[in-house]
Amino acid sequence: MDFVITAGHSNTDPGATAFGYKEALIAVDVRNLIATELRAMGHKVWTDGAGSDNQPLATAINLIQHGAIALEIHLNASDNPQASGVETIALPKSKALAQRISFAISSVLTLRVRGDAGWIDQSASARGKLGFVAAGGLIAELCFISNRGDLDKLQANMQAVASAIAKVLTS
């Protein structure tokens, strides 16, 4: 099976920042780990860059057509430092997969799932229309970069999160 795994934001857009970390750089690390896992299982994987490269959203959207599943990696952020949890944003047709992805991440990081059992319905979200999701992809919000506890859990368990996501995508 072919997969598209992309990192949120880009080389020029750091995304959310907190505690000296940039969302885009963490997303690249997780993207690379997931891609490595999937390739080791024998799958073709399309990414929006190699190594530390993180191409703009337009590139990520154009890649979606190449995969049976397209997943973009992000981290949430809030002005509330207590905001916590995992969610995956998708259209209703991908609800079950979004929930499985969120629960897999949650089980590794021991964070609660947000939304409808881990799924955020883009068509009903206050966030508006996200281009990657509108084009058929899913966006995994691994944790809150603005919550030190969430971020520490992700940093300590990045490989396990990547493995859990790869297992869901291939099951």
Residue type, 78: S
> Which DSSP letter does residue 93 get?
G
38: helix, coil or strand? Answer: helix
Give the chain's domains with CATH numbers.
2-170 (3.40.630.40)
pLDDT value at residue 124: 73
Tokens of 8: 């949120």
Q: Please report, rounded to a whole number, the percentage of residues in the chain having pLDDT higher than 90.
A: 95
Cα 67 to the center of its chain, rounded Å: 16
How, if at all, do strands 44-47 and 2-7 pair? parallel
- pLDDT tens readout for residues 122-168: 877 666 689 999 999 999 999 999 999 999 999 999 999 999 999 99
- What CA–CA distance (Å, rounded) separates 99 from 113? 9
Tokens of 23: 């969302």
Tokens of 135: 């084009």
Q: At what angle do helices 148-156 and 158-170 cross, to 10 degrees?
A: 70
- pLDDT tens readout for residues 97-118: 999 999 999 999 999 999 999 9
The band of 35, judged by pLDDT with boundaries at 50, 70 and 90, is: very high
Over residues 46-56, mean pLDDT: 97
Backbone angles phi, psi at 2, to 5 degrees: -100, 140
